[in-house]
């Protein structure tokens, strides 16, 4: 069984998928946290892995960057491989001055100006919630690991916010709400999960604090995200 973008056999992919953006991060997670690991996709160098975490079968499948990319992989996993839940584990920026580099965020909803829902299903939607059941499991996991979890609404944008010349003019495009973070994928994931009657959640690690000129290194972005990864993995047990 293969799709246009995934070469795995049907039984190669678990019902639960953790989805980082970066294929190298997927490799890092699989090698460090899983046992009996098997590589199940190499198409377009989107290396994906299935293994076991405390005897629980789990797949680590990268999404790439942006709604269009995560939309392809999440749709094929949900629709053709019978995946029931996807937890995005990624990075984000924030303009909240009380938050710090490597703080962990749980997105309760994602707001976007993207036309993805309209083009995909004729839906005029700007904000979509994540799955409450998954969120509750993640919150419990964070408490068990003594990891402080910031929860709240996020922005999913088509632009990488550190490159903006005027971030605060950019923010005027969005409702006057207390968004805790900005990233580039979750809105598409949440939309597909709702559309296909599946589950989705999103855990993020802050790597940019706008206004303080603080930014994580590329090494941090790839490897120093272990609190988020541990919370996500323990939530699936």
Q: How big is the chain by its Cα radius of gyration, in Å? A: 17
Does some domain include residue 3?
no
Q: How many residues does the chain have?
A: 237
* pLDDT at res. 165: 87
Verify whether residue 208 is a known catalytic residue: yes
Does some domain include residue 112?
yes
The residue from 12, 103, 161, 208 that is catalytic is 208
The predicted model scores a pTM of: 0.95
Does some domain include residue 220?
yes
- pLDDT tens-digit profile, the chain (237 residues): 789 999 999 899 999 999 999 999 999 999 999 999 999 999 999 999 999 999 999 999 999 999 999 999 999 999 999 999 999 999 999 999 999 999 999 999 999 999 999 999 999 999 999 999 999 999 999 999 999 999 999 999 999 987 888 988 999 999 999 999 999 999 999 999 999 999 999 999 999 888 777 677 766 665 568 999 999 999 999
Does some domain include residue 132?
yes
* pLDDT at res. 35: 98
- Count of domains forming the chain: 1
Does some domain include residue 2?
no
User: Domain range for residue 84?
Assistant: 10-235
Region of 198 please: left (phi>0), alpha (psi -120 to 50) or beta.
beta
Tokens linked to 4: 């246009």
Does some domain include residue 140?
yes
């Amino acid at each position: 069984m293969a799709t246009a973008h995934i070469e795995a056999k049907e039984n190669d992919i678990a019902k639960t998928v953790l989805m980082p953006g970066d294929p190298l991060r997927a490799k890092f997670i699989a090698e460090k946290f899983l046992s009996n690991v098997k590589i199940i996709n190499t198409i377009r160098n989107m290396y994906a892995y299935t293994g076991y975490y405390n005897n629980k079968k789990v797949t680590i499948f990268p999404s790439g960057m942006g709604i269009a990319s995560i939309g392809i992989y999440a749709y094929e996993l949900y629709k053709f491989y019978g995946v029931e839940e996807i937890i995005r584990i990624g990075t984000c920026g924030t303009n909240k001055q009380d938050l710090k580099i490597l703080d962990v965020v749980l997105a309760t909803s994602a707001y976007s100006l993207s036309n993805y829902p309209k083009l995909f299903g004729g839906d005029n939607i700007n904000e979509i919630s994540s799955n409450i059941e998954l969120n509750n499991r993640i919150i419990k996991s964070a408490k068990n690991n003594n990891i402080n979890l910031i929860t709240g609404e996020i922005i999913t944008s088509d632009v990488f916010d550190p490159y903006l010349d005027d971030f605060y003019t950019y923010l005027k495009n969005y409702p006057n709400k207390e968004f805790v973070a900005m990233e580039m994928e979750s809105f598409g994931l949440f939309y597909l999960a709702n559309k296909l009657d599946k589950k989705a959640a999103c855990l993020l690690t802050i790597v940019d604090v706008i206004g303080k000129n603080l930014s994580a290194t590329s090494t941090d972005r790839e490897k120093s995200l272990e609190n988020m990864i541990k919370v996500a993995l323990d939530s699936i047990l």
